């Protein structure tokens, strides 16, 4: 009798614990990718989607919602103004988002308008061409741009001043070319950029190495330079030369992570922060990150908030040098 009673009490206690755990889990987890499918924001959301499910932190797959517009501006404004307290919603950001914030491209909201949650990895800028391009090296491309910059069509995710624009602008400036003379075509996200390059609508794509790996492996595109300090590890990218080793002293790291709305409760924010801290420290997550050609960069909470604000300040200075400040 006593044994049966103890068993019953144990079951009740376990049910109570399970209810508590489920109550802490977001009921409708969602990741907003601020661009069309196929680019870096999509990759970032799907990395979190896999990591959360594989680690049993959520009991249902996290929904990925695409919200293109202004390379993050539409999503940022929507989260701050209309979805500020949604405790189950995280939104992807990158260094490009911070660069746009530095230039005031997100409207009336600045870098203090959201709760910065977690940085989950990093990548690097890359200069890409089609596999059959006449440009075999970065020197070939620079020579063509010096001869007649109007004949080299460069695709970038975003308009003048965007992250992709800045990458080629820095390379051009290092080579003695006025970035204002370059011919750009603005696009919405890495997916559209890759499609345009593969379709022959542009000659060069200023892009991200993580976005590019599937196309490198399929043989569709070739990377002229990766904007890292040293060559990157991994079978798909180890052979790619850096811009620096080719004589162009440019490096552009791209961090990837998430923010939440400004009015999200402390309890909901703490759940996400603690969850990401556990995930980021696991070997299982390291494998998932490497599969997406991202490199280690982990930061959460106040530390990330400080980092973001420092980077925005640095980007404001860089934007001023290029005459991009509003």
CATH code for the domain in which residue 11 is found: 3.40.190.150
Closest C-alpha among 29, 41, 140, 35 to residue 88: 29
Q: Has residue 113 got a pLDDT over 60?
A: yes
Whole-number pLDDT of residue 326: 56
CB-CB contact of 286 with 297 (8 Å) = no
Mean pLDDT of 66-76: 91
Confidence of residue 2 (pLDDT cuts 50, 70, 90): very low
Whole-number pLDDT of residue 14: 46
Tell me the average pLDDT of the chain. 90
Mean pLDDT of 149-155: 94
Tokens 């009336």 belong to: 108
- Residues 27, 107, single domain; the answer is yes
Q: Is residue 205 part of a domain?
A: yes
Partner residues linked to 116 by β-bridges:
259
Confidence of residue 54 (pLDDT cuts 50, 70, 90): very high
- Residues 42, 183, single domain; the answer is no
Whole-number pLDDT of residue 10: 46
Whole-number pLDDT of residue 153: 96
- Residues 90, 148, single domain; the answer is no
Q: Is residue 174 part of a domain?
A: yes
Portion of the chain with pLDDT greater than 70, in percent: 92
Residue ending a domain, among 252, 272, 289, is 252
Q: Where are the beta strands (DSSP E) in the chain?
A: 30-33, 63-66, 89-94, 115-130, 153-157, 183-187, 204-208, 221-226, 253-260, 299-300
- Residues 105, 150, single domain; the answer is no
Q: Is residue 326 part of a domain?
A: no
Q: Has residue 19 got a pLDDT over 50?
A: no
Q: Has residue 306 got a pLDDT over 90?
A: yes
Range(s) of the domain holding residue 74: 2-123+254-321
Helix, strand and coil content of the chain, in percent to the nearest 5, comes to 45, 20, 35
Residue ending a domain, among 252, 269, 289, is 252
- Residues 170, 228, single domain; the answer is yes
> Is residue 26 classed as helix, strand or coil in its secondary structure?
coil
- Residues 263, 117, single domain; the answer is yes
Per the structure, how many domains does the chain have? Answer: 2
Q: Give the integer Cα–Cα distance in Å for 206 and 220.
A: 15
Q: Has residue 92 got a pLDDT over 90?
A: yes
Using the CB atoms, write b or e for 148-160: b if 16+ within 10 Å: ebeebebbbbbbb
Mean pLDDT of 92-103: 94
Mean pLDDT of 297-317: 96
Q: pTM, whole model, 2 decimals?
A: 0.81
Q: Has residue 21 got a pLDDT over 50?
A: no
Q: Is residue 227 part of a domain?
A: yes
Q: Give the integer Cα–Cα distance in Å for 189 and 68.
A: 8
- Residues 129, 217, single domain; the answer is yes
- Residues 86, 140, single domain; the answer is no
Q: Give the integer Cα–Cα distance in Å for 130 and 141.
A: 13
Q: What is the CATH number of the domain that holds 179?
A: 3.40.190.10
Q: Which DSSP letter does residue 190 get?
A: H
Q: Is residue 23 part of a domain?
A: yes
Q: What is the pLDDT of residues 155-194, one digit of tens each?
A: 988 788 888 899 999 999 999 999 999 999 988 777 788 8
Q: How many other C-beta atoms are found inside a 10 Å radius of the C-beta of residue 137?
A: 12
- Residues 40, 128, single domain; the answer is no
- For the four alpha carbons of 11, 17, 20 and 24, in that order, the dihedral sign comes to negative
- Residues 270, 239, single domain; the answer is no
- Using CB atoms within 10 Å of the CB of residue 103, give its burial: 0 to 12 exposed, 13 to 18 middle, 19+ buried: buried
Q: Is residue 217 part of a domain?
A: yes
Portion of the chain with pLDDT greater than 90, in percent: 75
Q: Give the integer Cα–Cα distance in Å for 95 and 163.
A: 7
Q: Is residue 235 part of a domain?
A: yes
Distances (CA, A) of 237 to 23, 245, 274: 43, 15, 33
- Residues 241, 273, single domain; the answer is no
Residue ending a domain, among 207, 229, 252, is 252
- Residues 153, 247, single domain; the answer is yes
Q: Is residue 197 part of a domain?
A: yes
Q: Has residue 34 got a pLDDT over 80?
A: yes
């Amino acid at each position: 009798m006593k044994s049966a009673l103890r068993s019953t009490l144990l079951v009740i206690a376990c049910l109570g614990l399970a209810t508590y755990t489920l109550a802490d889990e977001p009921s409708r987890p969602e990741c907003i990718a601020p661009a069309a499918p196929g680019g870096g924001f999509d990759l970032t959301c799907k990395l979190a989607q896999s990591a959360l499910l594989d680690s049993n932190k959520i009991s249902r797959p996290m929904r990925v919602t695409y919200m293109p517009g202004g390379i993050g501006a539409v999503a940022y404004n929507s989260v701050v103004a209309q979805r500020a307290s949604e405790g189950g919603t995280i939104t992807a950001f990158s260094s490009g988002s911070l660069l746009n914030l530095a230039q005031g491209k997100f409207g009336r909201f600045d870098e203090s308008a959201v709760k910065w949650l977690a940085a989950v990895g990093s990548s690097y800028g890359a200069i890409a061409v089609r596999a059959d391009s006449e440009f075999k090296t970065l020197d070939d491309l620079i020579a063509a741009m010096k001869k007649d910059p109007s004949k080299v069509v460069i695709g970038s995710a975003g308009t003048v001043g965007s992250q992709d624009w800045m990458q080629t602008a820095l390379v051009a400036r290092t080579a003695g070319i006025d970035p204002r003379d370059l011919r750009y075509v603005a696009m919405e996200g890495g997916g559209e950029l890759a499609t345009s390059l593969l379709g022959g609508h542009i000659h060069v794509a200023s892009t991200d190495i993580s976005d590019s790996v599937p196309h490198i492996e399929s043989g569709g595109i070739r990377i002229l330079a990766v904007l890292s300090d040293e060559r990157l590890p991994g079978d798909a990218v180890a052979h790619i030369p850096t811009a620096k080793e080719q004589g162009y002293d440019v490096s552009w790291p791209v961090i990837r992570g998430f923010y939440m709305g400004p009015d999200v409760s402390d309890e909901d924010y703490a759940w996400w922060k603690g969850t990401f801290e556990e995930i980021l420290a696991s070997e299982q997550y390291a494998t998932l990150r490497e599969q997406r050609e991202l490199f280690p960069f982990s930061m959460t909470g106040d530390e990330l908030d400080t980092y973001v604000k420092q980077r925005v300040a640095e980007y404001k200075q860089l934007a001023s040098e290029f005459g991009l400040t509003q």
